[in-house]
């Protein structure tokens, strides 16, 4: 039996000016996946496909064991979806939304909802139209979290938030992660947020998945190596080098498969080996794949 929370296989979605091509994703129970890509990479399209809001042209999608989009009504009972774009219904208050959700979801946790109202400094009597962007995100997150869903799908929830609101949202998500049976798919182009909460990271660019791995493995695999080559010395052919920058005697190599073997292959000319931040890995990864595709 397939017990993955998300199982997306070879999905294709064609638009007039954009194609999501051969996208496969797998999210195990309890896993937190950061879904990172530049603007227009296909993150939101992928998440909407997972929610059944759009249908794929090819491929298969199963969420919480249910076929999507066919069985989306059943699957969505256990999915909390939050998007930075999402807005609450007009002419209603947050309190009305909380009552509305309570009437739909039997698992609604009123106590937890009240705690989140306080923690996020929201007012239930506040009209939806008067909420700021940050308050909207916190309100939709509250409505999603208080249902205690098994799967959270978050589409750039921290985009456009001020640092304090971002901290509040991320802190709450980290709190949610204590429940190990829940899983989260978190899309963002902010690698700092993703690095804080994710244990698995998938990079997407121009409609294609470019890399996917455990966060620690990403951080271990990628290195920037600086070397100084004496005159007349040339580097041997090296495997797994995604970028080579030369400035006179100084050479900077970026590798996606760093190992002791690679270091010994380079020889004694290495001056520094730098660990890379997730943002640096993301940019190098995307640029490498763009160049590879262009060739």
Partner 1 sequence: MSVVTRKLIAKELYVNRWFIVGGCVSGVVSVLIAATGKMGFNVGALTWLTTIIATGVMLGLYGIMNERKEHTLQFVLSLPLSIADYVRAKMLGLTACFLVVWLVSSGAALLLVFAKDTVADGIAPYTVLLCVFMLANFTVVLCGSLHAQSEALTSAVIVVTNMGVSIFMFTVAPLPGIEKYLSGPAPVWSSTFWTVLGCELAVLIIAFTLPFFLAARRRDFL
275-280 long-range contacts, Cβ below 8 Å, gap at least 24? 275/219, 275/222, 275/223, 276/219, 276/222, 276/223, 276/224, 277/191, 277/195, 278/36, 278/191, 278/192, 278/194, 278/195, 278/201, 278/215, 278/218, 278/219, 279/191, 279/192, 280/222, 280/224
Q: Other C-beta atoms within 10 Å of 172: how many?
A: 17
Q: Does 60 bind partner 1 (CB under 8 A)?
A: no
Q: Are 279 and 191 in contact (CB under 8 A)?
A: yes
Which residue from 24, 54, 214, 277 is in contact with partner 1, where contact means CB under 8 A?
Answer: 54
Nearer to partner 1, 103 or 181 (CB): 103
Which residue from 9, 48, 196, 263 is in contact with partner 1, where contact means CB under 8 A?
Answer: 48
Nearer to partner 1, 149 or 258 (CB): 149
Q: How near is the Cβ of 54 to partner 1 at its closest, in Å?
A: 4
Q: Are 88 and 126 in contact (CB under 8 A)?
A: no
- Binding segment toward partner 1, per CB under 8 A, in 44-52, 167-175, 246-254, 276-284: 44-52
Q: How near is the Cβ of 188 to partner 1 at its closest, in Å?
A: 17
Reported as type and span, the H/E element at residue 136 is: helix 133-145
Q: How near is the Cβ of 89 to partner 1 at its closest, in Å?
A: 5
Q: Are 269 and 228 in contact (CB under 8 A)?
A: yes
Q: Does 55 bind partner 1 (CB under 8 A)?
A: yes
* Residue from 118, 111, 110, 108 nearest 138 by CA: 118
Considering only residues 128 to 167 of the shown chain, the ones binding partner 1 according to CB under 8 A are 140, 144
- Binding segment toward partner 1, per CB under 8 A, in 50-58, 241-249, 255-263, 286-294: 50-58
Nearer to partner 1, 152 or 173 (CB): 152
Q: How far is the C-alpha of 21 from the C-alpha of 213, rounded, in Å?
A: 19
Q: Other C-beta atoms within 10 Å of 121: how many?
A: 11
Q: How near is the Cβ of 159 to partner 1 at its closest, in Å?
A: 13
Provide the mask over 65-104, with x wherever binding to partner 1 is found by CB under 8 A and - wherever it is not: ----x--xxx-xx-x-x-x-xxxxxxxx---x---x--xx
By the criterion CB under 8 A, which residues form the site for partner 1? 48, 51-55, 69, 72-74, 76-77, 79, 81, 83, 85-92, 96, 100, 103-104, 140, 144
């Amino acid at each position: 039996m397939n017990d993955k929370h998300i199982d997306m296989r070879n999905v294709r979605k064609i638009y007039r000016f954009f194609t999501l091509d051969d996208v496969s994703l797998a999210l195990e129970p309890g896993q937190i996946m950061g879904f990172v890509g530049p603007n227009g990479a296909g993150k939101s399209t992928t998440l909407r496909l997972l929610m059944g809001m759009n249908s794929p042209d090819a491929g298969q999608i199963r969420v919480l064991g249910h076929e999507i989009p066919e069985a989306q009504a059943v699957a969505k009972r256990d999915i909390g979806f939050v998007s930075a774009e999402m807005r609450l219904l007009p002419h209603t208050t947050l309190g009305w939304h909380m009552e509305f959700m309570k009437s739909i979801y039997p698992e609604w946790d009123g106590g937890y909802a009240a705690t989140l109202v306080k923690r996020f400094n929201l007012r239930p009597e506040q009209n939806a139209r008067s909420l700021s962007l940050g308050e909207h995100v916190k309100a939709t997150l509250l409505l999603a979290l208080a249902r205690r869903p098994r799967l959270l799908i978050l589409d750039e929830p921290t985009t456009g938030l001020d640092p304090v609101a971002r901290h509040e949202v991320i802190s709450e998500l980290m709190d949610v992660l204590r429940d190990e049976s829940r899983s989260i798919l978190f899309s963002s182009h902010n690698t700092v947020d993703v690095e804080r909460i994710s244990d698995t990271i998938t990079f997407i660019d121009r409609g294609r998945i470019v890399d996917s791995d455990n966060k620690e493995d990403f951080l271990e695999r990628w290195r920037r190596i600086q070397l100084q080559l004496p005159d007349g010395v040339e580097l041997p052919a090296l495997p797994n080098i995604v970028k080579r920058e030369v400035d006179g005697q100084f050479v900077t190599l970026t590798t996606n498969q760093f190992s002791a073997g690679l270091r010994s292959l380079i020889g004694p000319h290495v001056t520094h080996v730098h660990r890379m931040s997730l943002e640096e890995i993301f940019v190098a990864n995307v640029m490498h794949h763009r160049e590879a595709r262009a060739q």
